[in-house]
Each structure stands twice: as structure tokens, then as C-alpha cells.
Amino acid sequence: MLLKIAQPVRRRQISLTPLIDVVFILLLFFMLTSSFVQWRSMELHVSASAKTSNEEPEKPWLAEIQADGTLLLEGSVYAPDQNKALSALFREKARPVIIRAAGETTTQMLISSIERLQLSGASSVTLATDTAAAHSNQNTTSAP
């Protein structure tokens, strides 16, 4: 009679190639979705703040930003490359500015214009909300 001795079961080794592939795919995914941009903060007022002092607050200038970066400020047009003229305007008297963006203005153009006004010497820059824009439109609309 022959004895049958059970052969030891060979365990298959797990291949590391698929594991390495998955690791590289995850590495590529996180590298592509990560942002290495330096974020900067800027002070921005959304509505006019009430002054508690007895002195009369300065009347702010109204500015409108066009989609191409042109700034309409108190009846004058300032192109994006006219920073010296804008600085000269604020050098005479630093006043607060309320800005409103035209319909096609991008967010980047809005932020660039806010920084441009602040660097030119505006005492404060306030972003007009829809309500504030509608209010200023009602004040400038003439009756038929």
C-alpha cells in the first residue's frame, strides 16, 4: 500500500506591480489636483460703514469696472496702464471708492482693479452689492 503524502500547497505570491501602479496613479492624481498658488488676502468692505463721529463723512467716488479692465471713475476713463494718472487723482485727495462691476467683468479683473485702487491711494474700497447698485441706479435714473 502506498502512502500518499499531501504536497504542501504553494501559496501564490502577490505581485507588487498592480500596487505600484495604483500608488503612481494616486500620486499623479494628487499632484494634478493640488494648488501651489500663494493665497493673499485683501481688505474689502461690502457695505458702507456708519461713522460714529460728528464730522460729516466724505462722499465716496463711484467707479465702474469694464470687462477689459477700464475704470470709469467720476466721469473719467482710466485704462489699465494709466496707474500714474489714477495715483495723481488720489494724491490730491484720498477718498473712499465704491466700485461696481459691469456684467461681463471677470472676478480676476475685479480683484485687480480693487488692488489698483488701493495702491493708487483710495482711502477705502467698497464693493457695491446688487442692492447698492440698484439703489445708485435709482438715484441716477431721470424721470420721463
The per-residue pLDDT for 134 is: 41
Q: What are 36-45's pLDDT values in tens digits?
A: 777 777 666 6
pLDDT at 137: 44
Answer yes or no: is pLDDT of 79 > 70: yes
Mean pLDDT value of segment 73-80: 84
At 9-61, the pLDDT tens digits run 888 888 889 999 999 999 999 999 888 777 777 666 665 444 455 556 678 88
Q: With 0-12 CB in 10 A as exposed, 13-18 as middle and 19+ as buried, what is 96?
A: middle
pTM to 2 decimal places: 0.53
